[in-house]
A and B are shown apart, each in its own frame.
Chain A
């Protein structure tokens, strides 16, 4: 009996550490070479790819921003013509929202959540591989189109009828609409993976009240994605149908409705802000806890604030439409709900302040970015309260005031925590430390550059400067501030350049990182830096919110998993009691083929509706290959 077990189903309990490591490596590692790279389903490799790709898009989007600042630095400048300028601001917004902000937050989760909940891979790992290829294809579609002067030029919000068949000839608006499909498919896939990973794959003992706050934030975010993204996919699909086959969803002359687009877009578009912001909240909580040497004050309050924000996020979308001519009573409701979201946001701020006050702060680079976040994000929150007021909004809507507002929210509220998170988790991801000296310089330049660039935009907006104009006349009183802003943008850009230099240099030759360089208390620090392909040799058992804080040397572990095939533990939703051994799919090339086939279908369908018919054949073949029974044990469970 024992002999048979060793042959057919060897368990980790039967092996010592060295043997276990060797066997698990054989089972879980990604083969070297191109084929291995294309067929891997390791959440860490895919998460890294996602993060790198997203940061490349950040850099590209930043270059577009600098181009806009060049054109606006003086009145009636002629560096960039209106056609290109409209493409540039559309690309900047689209790129930053769909190709950077949402994917980078999901990328961090793809990498970190399985480690933080103590499992060996993300749920649905092949779907995860598929989602990355779809994201990459969508990004390439957008940027290649822009490179050949077919970049979308209708704004990142693509209001109809400007983006409709009558006023947007050519393929530019179709590129935008189809890029949406790509990125939303990938975002939805990741959201589903995160939800299942968090609910079903937590380490034994990690009951709901022991889930790290970052994981909570990603769980709420993933539900937001699942509920919000279908709205934009319906909207963009209806737009493509209007453009391609002559439907009239948005054509008032034929009974369609222009405002329907705005409702659908913002029903997605406002939760989108929280899809970007909530992960950042989780990052801030994580960093605050580590660098104040104590758990975040008010864990339950923080979780409730996350959930409340997630629910309220769906009741605010009309505040983007306060000047569209909706009924007064409806607008008043949305003023109240938009104001109300300041309450959970305030609660979170107060809890972090209490944590800082009660703890013993250590001023390392990740913590500096969190302090910068507090300073900037609170301003963004204040201006958010301002634009929630209908009369206030009628003056600042679609002006540079709003440009300032959402950069304070999105850069201050999400990018600052993200940069802090990169400095924080870089040692875990790469096994090397980033430079503390350069980190301080990076923070100083970005913090200074950001405020000098964006604060004056509040004033420009109140002085009557609308958004999305490619130039302005010299008699308008805006020239001085615009030149000041453009010069300040150079400081901001220098900060980001330094960040990229530090990251690339450190990844290549930074000092080796220990397993837990910051003395943090969450599970990802219980494994090596960088983690091994199977994350944990023996899966941890969690007995508290901070499993590493008390006695990190003696983390309890669970045993009994097979080492010859990929296995992990499935636990119950609430208490995380072990329920079953579940096999985890191995490497496969089919997600790549499926993504390629889907890409062909989606791009082809910009040109002819028949693409949906003929293009579905290769998609079907690829999916059959993906799900073909292999007679392996993974199909048996």
Chain B
């Protein structure tokens, strides 16, 4: 037990080292950093209290008892027990105040420069960058870019069931509740890729509903925004061009949008710049031509039960469409 506790504390202390990019103990944004301090603080206090209780337990059980003296009187015990209860009250009050203080320091600021809407869907994340000028608005999926060192408000909505948005290295989680709109403050202090995944059970493929938050330096972020606002690129190679034609003639376009083409479906993720994203299928696979082909060929084996049907394709069509997808940088 005690070794396990020491293990927990040592892991807490060396969190940044080995916890990966989806960890409450590897906080990289102000909200998560405040919470991590609270986590460590409360854990230490509780560990000390637990140790004290265990010491008293061991002593109470194993102390030497003189055989001749009668049973101890209750009066001193009453004093000790009362003091222990009083100490509990003080500790509990202190922890409550510490908790309130942390809540205040991670609350939403009055106005943030940037608001991004995230809509949870079974089982992917629709990400909407709305702009006052509709021509500048765009959508992406399962990947959120934010500028480093800036408060970002994430507006959380759900298209179907309850999901929960959780990128532990940047902030605590917040549910996406159908019929409601929640918001969350997100902030990254350092550039990097922070993984998150759905934390509220949302059905068959709850497991495979991850997203990446990529914190860019402001200049990189502006370049990314500019690129995303563009319509999809025209294919330059023959296979990609053939793939585009196949994509538009097959059922794909009924569910997916590729801006700049006739594909304007809204059921599935917007694919306008899918080639620029790190992963496909909500964090399931790294974006490569091979993984795109594997996914398009048989999405039900890779992510059983997801809403993308298997569309019958010839091997040439499959290769071409994969090439087209990869070209959509």
The 8 A CB mask of A347-364 against B (1 = contact, 0 = none) is 101110110111111000
The answer to whether B42 and A386 touch across the interface, beta carbons within 8 angstroms, is yes
Asked if B238 is an interface residue, CB under 8 A from chain A, the answer is no
Asked if B174 is an interface residue, CB under 8 A from chain A, the answer is yes
Closest-by-CB residue of A relative to B93 is A339
Looking at chain A's contact residues, the main secondary structure is helix
4 tightest A-B CB contacts, nearest first: A394-B172, A252-B179, A325-B182, A389-B99
- Contacts A298-B81, A349-B53, A392-B39; is A398 near B103 (CB within 8 Å)? no
Other A-B pairs, 19, CB within 8 Å; known A351-B81, A397-B164, A467-B199: A82-B207, A86-B204, A162-B203, A166-B160, A252-B180, A323-B175, A335-B100, A360-B65, A361-B61, A371-B61, A386-B39, A386-B42, A391-B38, A391-B172, A392-B35, A398-B166, A462-B11, A462-B24, A477-B20
The answer to whether B305 and A162 touch across the interface, beta carbons within 8 angstroms, is no
> Which residue of the partner chain, among B24, B63, B182, B305, contacts A396 with CB atoms under 8 Å?
B24
Asked if A504 is an interface residue, CB under 8 A from chain B, the answer is no
Interface hub of A259, A374, A451, A464 (most chain B Cβ within 10 A)? A464
- Contacts A83-B304, A470-B207; is A398 near B168 (CB within 8 Å)? no
**Residue count of chain A within 8 Å CB distance of chain B:** 83
Those of A320-354 within 8 Å (CB) of chain B: 323-325, 328, 331-332, 335-336, 339-340, 342-343, 346-347, 349-351, 353-354
Interface hub of B39, B80, B305 (most chain A Cβ within 10 A)? B39
> Which residue of the partner chain, among A82, A161, A470, contacts B178 with CB atoms under 8 Å?
A161
From residue B258, how far is it (CB to closest CB) to chain A in Å? 28
Contacts of A374 in B (CB 8 A): 53, 57
Asked if B317 is an interface residue, CB under 8 A from chain A, the answer is no
Those of B11-28 within 8 Å (CB) of chain A: 11-12, 18-20, 22-25
- Contacts A162-B162, A259-B180, A378-B50; is A332 near B205 (CB within 8 Å)? no
Q: Measured between alpha carbons, how far is A379 from B1 in the docked complex, in Å?
A: 10
Asked if B201 is an interface residue, CB under 8 A from chain A, the answer is yes
The answer to whether B56 and A353 touch across the interface, beta carbons within 8 angstroms, is yes
Selected interface stretch from A48-56, A97-105, A452-460: A452-460
From residue B119, how far is it (CB to closest CB) to chain A in Å? 14
From residue B274, how far is it (CB to closest CB) to chain A in Å? 20
The answer to whether A395 and B24 touch across the interface, beta carbons within 8 angstroms, is yes
Q: Measured between alpha carbons, how far is A470 from B81 in the docked complex, in Å?
A: 46
Q: Measured between alpha carbons, how far is A463 from B57 in the docked complex, in Å?
A: 32
Q: Measured between alpha carbons, how far is A435 from B239 in the docked complex, in Å?
A: 76
Contacts of A356 in B (CB 8 A): 57, 60-61
Asked if A385 is an interface residue, CB under 8 A from chain B, the answer is yes
Asked if B134 is an interface residue, CB under 8 A from chain A, the answer is no
The 8 A CB mask of A290-305 against B (1 = contact, 0 = none) is 0000100110010000
Asked if A399 is an interface residue, CB under 8 A from chain B, the answer is yes
> Which residue of the partner chain, among B39, B102, B103, B203, contacts A462 with CB atoms under 8 Å?
B39
Selected interface stretch from B84-92, B216-224, B225-233, B290-298: B84-92
Contacts of B99 in A (CB 8 A): 335, 339, 388-392
Contacts of A459 in B (CB 8 A): 7-8, 11
Q: Measured between alpha carbons, how far is A467 from B199 in the docked complex, in Å?
A: 7
The answer to whether A332 and B61 touch across the interface, beta carbons within 8 angstroms, is no
- Contacts A162-B202, A385-B92; is A390 near B103 (CB within 8 Å)? yes
The answer to whether B71 and A294 touch across the interface, beta carbons within 8 angstroms, is yes
Contacts of A358 in B (CB 8 A): 71-72, 74, 77
The 8 A CB mask of B289-317 against A (1 = contact, 0 = none) is 00000000000000011000000000000
The answer to whether A392 and B57 touch across the interface, beta carbons within 8 angstroms, is no
Asked if A253 is an interface residue, CB under 8 A from chain B, the answer is yes
Closest-by-CB residue of A relative to B165 is A323
Contacts of B85 in A (CB 8 A): 343, 346-347, 350
Closest-by-CB residue of B relative to A357 is B60
Asked if A66 is an interface residue, CB under 8 A from chain B, the answer is no
> Which residue of the partner chain, among A83, A332, A357, contacts B63 with CB atoms under 8 Å?
A357
Closest-by-CB residue of A relative to B210 is A473
The 8 A CB mask of A137-157 against B (1 = contact, 0 = none) is 000000000000000001100
Asked if A476 is an interface residue, CB under 8 A from chain B, the answer is yes
Contacts of B24 in A (CB 8 A): 395-396, 462-464
The answer to whether A379 and B50 touch across the interface, beta carbons within 8 angstroms, is yes
Contacts of A258 in B (CB 8 A): 162, 177-180
Asked if A628 is an interface residue, CB under 8 A from chain B, the answer is no
The answer to whether A336 and B57 touch across the interface, beta carbons within 8 angstroms, is no
**Can you list 28 contacts pairing A with B, beta carbon distance less than 8 Å?**
A82-B305, A83-B204, A167-B160, A167-B161, A258-B162, A259-B180, A297-B77, A325-B156, A328-B103, A336-B96, A339-B99, A346-B88, A350-B80, A358-B74, A358-B77, A379-B50, A385-B46, A386-B43, A392-B38, A394-B174, A398-B173, A456-B4, A459-B11, A463-B20, A466-B166, A470-B207, A476-B20, A477-B19
> Which residue of the partner chain, among B56, B175, B179, B207, contacts A472 with CB atoms under 8 Å?
B207
The 8 A CB mask of B143-184 against A (1 = contact, 0 = none) is 000000000000010001110101010011111011110100
Q: Measured between alpha carbons, how far is A336 from B53 in the docked complex, in Å?
A: 23
Those of B48-107 within 8 Å (CB) of chain A: 49-50, 53-54, 56-57, 59-61, 63, 65, 71-72, 74, 77-78, 80-81, 84-85, 88-89, 92, 95-96, 98-100, 102-103, 106-107
Asked if B198 is an interface residue, CB under 8 A from chain A, the answer is yes
Q: Measured between alpha carbons, how far is A161 from B311 in the docked complex, in Å?
A: 29
The answer to whether B199 and A325 touch across the interface, beta carbons within 8 angstroms, is no
Q: Measured between alpha carbons, how far is A354 from B201 in the docked complex, in Å?
A: 44
The answer to whether A346 and B84 touch across the interface, beta carbons within 8 angstroms, is yes
The answer to whether B175 and A354 touch across the interface, beta carbons within 8 angstroms, is no
Contacts of B175 in A (CB 8 A): 323-325
Asked if B257 is an interface residue, CB under 8 A from chain A, the answer is no
> Which residue of the partner chain, among B88, B92, B173, contacts A394 with CB atoms under 8 Å?
B173
Q: Measured between alpha carbons, how far is A342 from B85 in the docked complex, in Å?
A: 10
Asked if B197 is an interface residue, CB under 8 A from chain A, the answer is yes
The answer to whether A397 and B173 touch across the interface, beta carbons within 8 angstroms, is yes
The answer to whether B201 and A297 touch across the interface, beta carbons within 8 angstroms, is no
Contacts of B168 in A (CB 8 A): 395, 464
> Which residue of the partner chain, among A342, A359, A383, contacts B92 with CB atoms under 8 Å?
A342
Q: Measured between alpha carbons, how far is A82 from B123 in the docked complex, in Å?
A: 13
Q: Measured between alpha carbons, how far is A166 from B36 in the docked complex, in Å?
A: 39
